[in-house]
Amino acid sequence: MYIGIDLGGTNIAAGLVDDNGALINTIDCPTESSRKSEEIADDMIALCEKLSENNGYKMSDIKGIGIGCPGTVNNETGEILYVPNLGMDGFNLAGYIRNKINCPVHLANDADCAALGEYTANGNNAKSFILITLGTGVGGGVIINGKLYTGFNGMGAEIGHMTLVHEGELCGCGKKGCWEAYASVTALKRQTMDAMEKNPQSKICQIYKRDKKVSGRTAFDAAKQGDKVAREVVKQYAEYVASGLISVENIFQPEMIVIGGGISKEGDYLLNPIMEYVNKYRFNKHLRQTEINVAKLFNDAGIIGAAMLCK
Amino acid sequence: MYIGIDLGGTNIAAGLVDDNGALINTIDCPTESSRKSEEIADDMIALCEKLSENNGYKMSDIKGIGIGCPGTVNNETGEILYVPNLGMDGFNLAGYIRNKINCPVHLANDADCAALGEYTANGNNAKSFILITLGTGVGGGVIINGKLYTGFNGMGAEIGHMTLVHEGELCGCGKKGCWEAYASVTALKRQTMDAMEKNPQSKICQIYKRDKKVSGRTAFDAAKQGDKVAREVVKQYAEYVASGLISVENIFQPEMIVIGGGISKEGDYLLNPIMEYVNKYRFNKHLRQTEINVAKLFNDAGIIGAAMLCK
């Protein structure tokens, strides 16, 4: 039995995970990130103890604890290197917990943990595997020969910040034209609102009135009802996603690419227009091709993957 | 002592390379690619024997032969998989030569061999190393933990075919907006000719009249003479190169990126405007940064790297 922890800016979630990567039970508490690093770490230990006890285990039954956190970490030492908004830079989180409870503890970036979770859910045997998470931003996690690839400084696989449109839309990173500025759910919401403004008669506007907000689902919901404007929004968004996926495929030729994030729940409504574009423009037309799928785990991927860091 | 062979569509070049990656001597012969695969392979064996003899060695002194060829190969079996214009698809080149002369033989893609050559020239110790070759196209070779990364099907690291401008200039691969369509020397020549057409008074046109052709050097030569139009061409080209390099850096965070191809001989005239853009827009501003340099070996990189496949 393993424990996976997802350390976020708002909440800390922990999950009990078995040897096969199945999630047994979860528990959480607020992060309160303004506190001292040691206090946050102590809360993580308390969560682990409570989670074990709740499920009839002793801490000595836990073979390892894995932690995923946003930003950049040193996977080898377990130190937090650069995590904006968490105030824990320079703190050896894994080392601190390891010393207190005598259990192996591993630390990794949260997008990398999610990749490891989806890799597990997809059978653990792809020679090369990439998870692309479409959310507030576009995240990436790369697994080569069963191991996370994180670059020489731990900051690798910021795939969302490859250029899609040279000198295009301004991205949060300060550069223009990043894939993230076109293929994130944030970008889809902007694209949806632009279409609403230009087409006040479209079904998108009716759905907006019903939901009182624009989400990543708004355009998809209207498209499913046959709305032409919404279909165009979805098609254009899918092409932005697909264009970046082709780049990822051409660079890595990974055995599998999985598309994650809440929007991947749209399933074939998202995947079909993506694959139409990918099949038309992918470079490799002669050899075995990369398999592209939507995610299997959704929100649990991070916790399961964190636990799998210990295997 | 090793032998490295560069199998091209026009010529086969072989070089004697010592344990440290120093090139001792070279020899070549025409490929005549319309011939049977076995005949081409027999010529490669004859080249090896002659090269050894010319330099006072017996074939039994040669610890291994490495071969680089364009297109896709199976690095493990030594089979040629998909190499347009060579007519050798499905032929186990390494196996054929190995059987005939009882010597270890390895086969790899030529861009990958060039990467291995530059990696050797740069000290063999970067945890992750990428060579980007700016030539007729834009080639890529990726070395992770001392090993070539070629993807699950051997076709990996076609970095020139990542998108730089979504739906931009048409690329030879059939997709629009590839990095190659903006950052290759072919693209630079097109950009130079466009500038000449719009500015017939510029020094570029004088240099064109002197050389009777447009090359990758034309704009650089005019820029060095202070021509404003040429400076703008070089700046714009460097930004296209740099924008792609930032993507490569953000994806891999490699310890080192080396820029190769004939145009890298421009040295600081190319590297300075590239680094100006990279330093402004690179994602990683807080941790150790990727070192970006121009190549050290130029044309010999492929032969030296092929030889180093055997180490």
Q: Do A243 and B163 touch (CB under 8 A)?
A: yes
* Cβ neighbour number for residue A238 with a 10 Å cutoff: 24
Q: Which residue in this structure is represented by tokens 């038309």? A: A280
Residue A2 forms contact with B (CB below 8 Å): no
B208 with B196: CB under 8 angstroms?
yes
Predicted confidence at residue B177, as pLDDT, reads 97
Element (H, E) at B293: strand B291-294
Non-local CB neighbours of B190 within 8 Å, separated by 6+ positions: none
Predicted confidence at residue A64, as pLDDT, reads 98
Residue A101 forms contact with B (CB below 8 Å): no
Instruction: Note the ipTM here.
Output: 0.94
The pTM is what? Answer: 0.95
Task: Indicate whether B286 pLDDT > 90.
Answer: no
Beta strands in chain A (DSSP E): 2-7, 11-17, 23-30, 64-69, 72-74, 79-82, 105-109, 128-134, 138-144, 147-149, 256-260, 291-294
Predicted confidence at residue B298, as pLDDT, reads 79
Provide the chain A residues 43-82 that lie in CB contact (below 8 A) with chain B.
Answer: 72, 81-82
CA distance A7 to A1: 20
Predicted confidence at residue B60, as pLDDT, reads 95
Strands A23-30 and A11-17: antiparallel
Nearest to A152 among B150, B154, B255 (CB): B255
Mean residue pLDDT across chain B: 96
Predicted confidence at residue A189, as pLDDT, reads 98
Q: Do B159 and A251 touch (CB under 8 A)?
A: yes
The per-residue DSSP string of B244-282 comes to HHHHHHHHH--SEEEEESGGGGGTHHHHHHHHHHHHHH-
Predicted confidence at residue A52, as pLDDT, reads 98
Nearest CA in chain A to B291: A152
Q: Do A153 and B287 touch (CB under 8 A)?
A: yes
Q: What is the 3-state secondary structure (H, E, C) of B91-126?
A: CEHHHHHHHHHCCCEEEEEHHHHHHHHHHHHCCCCC
Q: Do B152 and A247 touch (CB under 8 A)?
A: no
Here the tokens at position B103 are 């010597």
The pLDDT profile of chain A, 311 residues, written as one tens digit per residue, is: 999 999 999 999 999 999 999 999 999 999 999 999 999 999 999 999 999 999 999 999 999 999 999 989 999 999 999 888 889 999 999 999 999 999 999 999 999 999 999 999 999 999 999 999 999 999 999 999 999 999 999 999 999 999 999 999 999 999 999 999 999 999 999 999 999 999 999 999 999 999 999 999 999 999 999 999 999 999 999 999 999 999 999 999 999 999 999 999 999 999 999 999 999 999 998 899 999 999 999 789 999 999 999 98
Question: Nearest CA to A76 among A147, A19, A4, A159?
Answer: A147
Nearest CA in chain B to A249: B156
Q: How far is CA B168 from the centre of its chain?
A: 24
Predicted confidence at residue B212, as pLDDT, reads 96
Here the tokens at position B211 are 């050389």
Paired residues of B294 in beta bridges: B259
Strands B64-69 and B105-109: parallel
Cα separation values, B100 from A17, A179, B7, B12, B58, Å: 55, 51, 18, 19, 15
Residue B144 forms contact with A (CB below 8 Å): yes
In the sheet where B105-109 sits, what is the strand order? B23-30, B11-17, B2-7, B64-69, B105-109
Predicted confidence at residue B243, as pLDDT, reads 98
Q: How far is CA B179 from the centre of its chain?
A: 15
Average pLDDT over every residue of B214-242? 98
CA distance A2 to A9: 23
Nearest to A250 among B162, B176, B182 (CB): B162
Q: Do A175 and B244 touch (CB under 8 A)?
A: no
Chain segment B160-217, per-residue pLDDT in tens: 999 999 999 999 999 999 999 999 999 999 999 999 999 999 999 999 999 999 999 9
Nearest to A163 among B151, B176, B243 (CB): B243
